[in-house]
Amino acid sequence: MFKKRFIILCALFLALFLTACGRKERPVDLAVKEGILIIDNGSEPEGLDPHTVTGFPEHRILMALYEGLVIENPDVPGDYLPGVADTWISNPDHSVWTFHIRDNAHWSNGDRLVAEDFVYAHNRILNAELGSEYAEMLYPILNAEAFHDGEISDFSEVGVKALDDSTLQYTLKGPTAYFPQMLMHYTYWPVHRPTIEAFNAFSDRTTNWARPGTLIGNGPFVLKNWVTNQVIEVEANPHYWDAATVKLKGIRFLPIDNRDTAERMFLAGQLHKTDSVPFNKRRHYRDTRSDVFHEDEFFADSYVGVNCRKSPLDDIRVRRALYLAINDQLITESVTFNGDAALCWVPPVIQNYDNSIKRDYDPEMARALLAEAGYPGGEGLRPLDLLIVNTDTNKIVSETYQEMWRSELGVKINVVNEEWKVFLDSLAQGNFDLFTMAWIGDYIDPSTFLGMMTEGNGNNHTGWVNKEYDRLLEESSYIADPDARYKVLGQAEDILMTELPILPSSTNPRVYLLDNRVRGWKSHPIDNHPYKFIYFAPENESESE
C-alpha cells in the first residue's frame, strides 16, 4: 500500500512539475519585470518629425521622445507643470511670455538644450517650403502668420526671441491667457539643429532623420527600434533632465488597427493597454470588468468631412440633407454603445462656452432639401465616395451611414478603405467626396476646434472658406475677457453649423482596457499621459489596491 501511494504521489509531482515547466510566462508579465510598457498605438505613424505629422498615433509616440517648455499636469486637466522651462512669467494682459530654460536640460546625445533651439524649430515649422499642416498652431505669435504666408521674409520680426541661452521670450499678437496650454503640443517642441542640418531637412520633409540612431530628442525616452507595421520601441533617456523620476525602462508601441485583435491580445497577456474596445463588447466590460475597463471624458468629436469643392457637395442644401438624415443618437445607442450624438462642433467640455445653432435629426426636411437641390429621392445624384481609415470600428459606422443615406434619401455611397498614411495623402490631394475622422483638441479651448476650419489651415481638408468665420476667429484672438471671447467664438461656430463643411457626429468618452498593474495613467480630456509618471504596481501590492 505504501509503495502504491508513493508511486501515485511521485506521478502527481512529476505532472505538476512538467506543467509548471511547460507554462510560458505571458509577455505582459515579463515586460512588467523588465519595466516595459506595451500599448496599442492604433495605427502605424505617418512619421516622427514633429513638424510634419498631424495625427494622434504620432503624438502618442512623440510624447515619449520630446518635451516642451511645460507638460501636462496628469492630476488637473488643463493645468501644466514645468518641463524644459523651470519658471515663466507673463505681462498683465498675457501678451508677452518669458520662459527660463532649466540649466540641466539636454538633448538625448548630451548636447545642452538652449533657448535658440526653440527659435530654430519655430523658424522651421513656419517655413512655407516645409509645408507643415500644423503651422497655424503658431499663429498666436506676433507676425508668425505673416512670415508663413510670405508677407515678411525676416524671421527676426516674428515674436519669438532667445534673450540668452536660458531665456526664451514670446510676444503674441494679442492677449492669450491659455498660451502655456498650447506649448504642450508637439508643434511648439524643439528639434535638434545639428541633426536637421546634417540631413538638409530644414525645408525637406522627405529625409530620414527621424529614425532609430539618428533621431535626437529631449524627452524621457529615446527611439530604439522601428519595424514598420510591427513595433516602435523606446528606451529610457539617461540625459533627460528628470531621469530620476522616470520609472519605466521602455515602451513598445504596437500598430493594431483592429479592435477585436487588440482585445484578444490584451486578454492573452500581450498588451498592457488597448487603444479602444470593440463596440459589441463595451457593455460586457462596463458591467463585468470594471477592474480593466475605462471610460474617460474626452475633448474630441467624430465627424464626416465634406469636399465642398466638388459638385454636388458644393451645394449647402445637399450637405444639410446628408446631415439631417443621420440618426447619430441611434448609432451611439445601438451600434457603438458609447457616447452621444454631437449637437455642435465644439464638445461640451468647456464651462461658460456655447453656441446657438444645434444639429437635429429630420429625414423629412432632408428629403425636401435634396429635392430642392434638384435630386428628388436621390435621382440624378452621382454615387459619393466615403473615405475611411481601414479599421473595424470605422467600417461599422460608415456602413451604417451608407444604409441611412440610401434608405432615407436614395443616395448611393461607396465606402473606400485606406491605410492611415494613404488616407492622409488622399485628404491632402482632395481625392474624396466624404471622409470620416475624429478630431482631438490640442488644448482645452474652443479655438482648437474652430481654428482648424479657417482658410488655408492644413487640417481643413474640406476646401470650405468663409471670410466672416475667419474674421471672427481673428477678432477673438485680441479679446482678453474670456466670456466676451467665447461669445465671438460661438458666433463663428454658428456659421460653421449653418454651412456644414463638416458634419459633427458624436462625442465619445475615451474607452480602453488597461492592465490594473499600470499606475499613473489618469483620465484626461485630451488623452495626454506623461510617461514619466507611469509605473507598474510594486510586486508586494495587491491588484485590488
DSSP state of 476: H
What pLDDT score does 522 carry?
Answer: 92
pLDDT cut 70: percent of the chain above it: 94
Beta bridge partners of 514: 273
DSSP 273-285: B-S---GGGHHHH
Average pLDDT over residues 282-290: 93
Does a structural domain hold residue 26?
Answer: no
Instruction: Judge if 287 and 373 occupy the same domain.
Output: no
Domain of 520: which CATH number? Answer: 3.40.190.10
Q: What is the pLDDT of residues 83-126, one digit of tens each?
A: 999 999 999 999 999 999 999 999 999 999 999 999 999 999 99
Question: Measured over all CA atoms, what is the biggest interatomic distance in the chain, rounded to whole angstroms?
Answer: 100
The model's confidence at residue 508, banded by pLDDT at 50, 70 and 90, is: confident
Question: Residue 29 pLDDT > 70, yes or no?
Answer: yes
Statement to judge: residues 286 and 144 lie in one domain? no
State the pLDDT confidence band at 279, using cuts at 50, 70 and 90.
confident
pLDDT at 16: 39
C-alpha cell at 468: 466672416
**Are residues 153 and 142 located together in one domain of the fold?**
yes
Evaluate whether residue 28 is within a structural domain: no
Q: Are residues 430 and 367 in the same domain?
A: yes
CATH number at residue 341: 3.10.105.10
> The domain containing residue 284 runs over which residues?
34-42+220-297+510-536
Dist CA 518 CA 510 (whole Å): 17
97, containing H or E segment: strand 96-101
User: What is the spatial distance between Cα 71 and Cα 186, in angstroms, rounded to a whole number?
Assistant: 11
pLDDT above 80: residue 46: yes
Taking the C-alpha atoms of residue 49 and residue 280, their distance in angstroms, rounded to an integer, is 36
User: Residues 425-444: what's their mean pLDDT?
Assistant: 93
Mean pLDDT calculated for residue range 75-83: 90
Question: Per the domain annotation, does 265 fall within a domain?
Answer: yes
pLDDT at 237: 98
Q: Is residue 542 part of a domain?
A: no
> Is the dihedral angle over the CA atoms 81, 87, 90, 95 positive or is it negative?
negative
d(CA 429, CA 38): 35
Cα Rg, the chain, nearest whole Å: 26
pLDDT bin (cut points 50, 70, 90) of residue 378 is very high
Residue 332 shares a structural domain with residue 389 = yes
Q: Which residues pair with 388 in a beta bridge?
A: 417
**pLDDT tens digits along 325-353:** 999 999 999 888 888 999 999 999 898 99
In a domain, 54, yes or no: no
Query: Which runs of consecutive H residues, i.e. helices, occur in 410-481?
Result: 420-429, 447-450, 467-476
Residue-level pLDDT at 538: 86
Condensed to tens digits (0 to 9), the pLDDT of residues 381-428 reads 999 999 999 776 788 899 999 999 999 999 999 999 999 889 999 999
Q: How far apart are CA 213 and CA 38, in angstroms?
A: 21
**Tell me, what's the pLDDT at 23?**
54
Residue 19 lies in a domain: no
pLDDT band at 541 (very low <50, low <70, confident <90, very high): low
Range 258-267 contact pairs with CB under 8 angstroms and sequence separation of 24 or more: 258/391, 258/392, 259/391, 259/392, 259/393, 260/392, 262/40, 263/513, 265/40, 266/40, 266/292, 266/513, 266/515
pLDDT of residue 392: 66
pLDDT at residue 540 in the model: 60
Separation CA 161–CA 171 (nearest Å) = 9
For residue 170, name the pLDDT band (cuts at 50, 70, 90).
very high
Query: Average pLDDT, stretch 291-317?
Result: 95
Nearest-CA neighbor of 346 among 338, 336, 337, 356?
Answer: 356
Grid look-up 522651421 returns 124
> Is there a single domain that holds both residue 477 and residue 500?
yes
User: 279 and 146 in one domain?
Assistant: no
What phi and psi values does residue 387 have, to the nearest 5 degrees?
Answer: -90, 130
In a domain, 459, yes or no: yes
Q: What secondary structure letter does DSSP report for 113?
A: P
Average pLDDT score over residue span 298-321: 96
CATH number at residue 97: 3.90.76.10
Instruction: Based on the fold, state whether residues 273 and 257 are members of the same structural domain.
Output: yes
For residue 531, what is its C-alpha cell?
510617461
> Whole-model pTM?
0.85
C-alpha cell at 90: 507673463
Q: What is the mean pLDDT of residues 255-270?
A: 95
- For the stretch 6-11, contacts whose Cβ atoms lie closer than 8 Å and that sit 24 or more positions apart, written own/partner, are none
Q: How far, in Å, CA of 283 to CA of 134, rounded?
A: 37
- The per-residue pLDDT for 15 is 39
Helix orientation angle between 259-267 and 392-409, rounded to the nearest 10 degrees: 150
- Which residue type sits at 115? A
Q: What is the reported pLDDT for 542?
A: 47
| Same-domain check for residues 385 and 259 | no
Per-residue pLDDT of 355-376, as tens digits, reads 999 988 999 999 999 999 999 9
Q: Examine the pLDDT at 22 and tell me if it is beyond 80.
A: no
Domain tally, the chain: 3
Report d(CA 524, CA 423) in Å as an integer.
28
- Predicted local distance difference test score (pLDDT) of residue 339: 87
**215 located within any domain:** no
Report whether pLDDT(7) > 50. no
Q: Give, in order, the Cα–Cα distances in Å from 317 to each of 303, 328, 366, 494.
A: 18, 19, 8, 16
Mean pLDDT of the chain: 92
CA distance 408 to 535: 51
Asked if residue 338 lies in contact with residue 296, where contact means CB atoms within 8 angstroms, the answer is no
Sheet holding 85-90, edge to edge: 85-90, 96-101, 167-171, 160-164
Position with higher pLDDT, 18 vs 309? 309
Question: Looking at the structure, do residues 329 and 345 belong to the same domain, yes or no?
Answer: yes
Q: Are 452 and 459 in contact (CB under 8 A)?
A: yes
Cα separation, 433 vs 387, in Å, equals 8
Same domain, 371 and 429: yes
Query: Do 93 and 180 belong to one domain?
Result: yes
